[in-house]
Amino acid sequence: MNHDLLKGKRALVTGGSRGIGAAIVKRLAREGADVALTYVSKPDEAGKTAGSAKEFGVRTLTIQADAANSEAVVAAVEQTVKAFGGIDILVNNAGIAAFSPIDTLSIADFDRTFAVNVRAVFVATQAAVKHMQEGGRVINIVSCNAERMPFTGGSAYAMSKAALVGLVKGLARDLGPRGITVNNIQPGPVDTEMNPAAGEFAEMLKKLMALPRYAHGDEIAAMVAYLAGPEAGFVTGASLTIDGGFTA
């Protein structure tokens, strides 16, 4: 079912080939948006996701780009603009998780965490807003670990996600006069290949939640669709939590 809420809009989703990113790509397409997605190393998965999105009658584009590489991030935005004639929605979804206690966390892991989870968001936003008109949307997929890190080894990851809370507040001020909104979505545990809903780690996390289950990618994508749509025009500088009560 195509709701046409985003008909004529053009979107870029970073890290859009699988997991939460793939769910977002398909949901935006279902709402009528043309969607480009970036991937790092699996063109087949990216092609499959784009193929599913195309079934809604929209244009799609897959772009190989490592979020740690600033030039590649800018190039992905430019390719999207060239292919679609502009950009209205940027979803910064690409992210990595390097978990290790302070004694063993390497500086290389720290730097890559910051590069992918923070710098790439800034770089992609800076590149995209050059082309955005009034009504533009920047949406970052962050994490409820920005507010709560209840187990060991997550210091750099939590830091990188908390940094985006401050970033969107500042960006909302910069871009508000231009009618562009910037927001974070802070998911709790979501059932993906990287973080499956079954296993020892999952059981530990479920005990920390008010709803003892993992989210489905579609539930996160629904919040993205809301923020990307016309009804969310007054929401900016916000970090919206969808975490099953992980931070309650």
- The Cα diameter of the chain in Å comes to 51
Task: Tell whether 2 is covered by a domain.
Answer: no
Task: Tell whether 1 is covered by a domain.
Answer: no
Task: Tell whether 248 is covered by a domain.
Answer: no
What value does the mean pLDDT of the chain take? 96
Buried b (16+ CB within 10 A) or exposed e, 17-45: bbbbbbbbbbbbbbbbbbbbbbbbeeeeb
pLDDT tens, residue by residue, 150-160: 999 999 999 99
Judging by beta carbons within 10 Å of its beta carbon (0-12, 13-18, 19+), is residue 193 exposed, middle or buried?
exposed
Residue showing tokens 């920390």 = 208
Judge whether residue 193 has pLDDT over 90: no
| Alpha-carbon 91 to chain mean position | 5
Range of the domain at 221: 10-242
> What is the rounded CA–CA span in Å between residue 193 and residue 224?
20
Task: Tell whether 3 is covered by a domain.
Answer: no
pTM for this one? 0.97
Instruction: Show which residues are catalytic.
Output: 157
User: For position 4, what pLDDT does the model report?
Assistant: 87
Task: Tell whether 94 is covered by a domain.
Answer: yes
Phi-psi domain of 33 (left: phi exceeds 0; alpha: psi -120 through 50; beta: other):
beta
Which whole number is the average pLDDT over 127-153? Answer: 97
Task: Tell whether 211 is covered by a domain.
Answer: yes
pLDDT tens, residue by residue, 29-38: 999 999 999 9
On whether the CB atoms of residues 131 and 81 are closer than 8 A, the answer is: yes
Name the token pair of 127: 């590149």
How many domains are contained in the chain? Answer: 1
Task: Tell whether 194 is covered by a domain.
Answer: yes
Which whole number is the average pLDDT over 136-160? Answer: 97
Judge whether residue 72 has pLDDT over 70: yes
pLDDT tens, residue by residue, 94-134: 999 999 999 999 999 999 999 999 999 999 999 999 999 99
**Model confidence at 42, in pLDDT bands (50, 70, 90)?**
very high
Helix/strand/coil for 161: helix
User: For position 1, what pLDDT does the model report?
Assistant: 46
CATH of the domain at 189: 3.40.50.720
Which whole number is the average pLDDT over 77-105? Answer: 97
Task: Tell whether 197 is covered by a domain.
Answer: yes
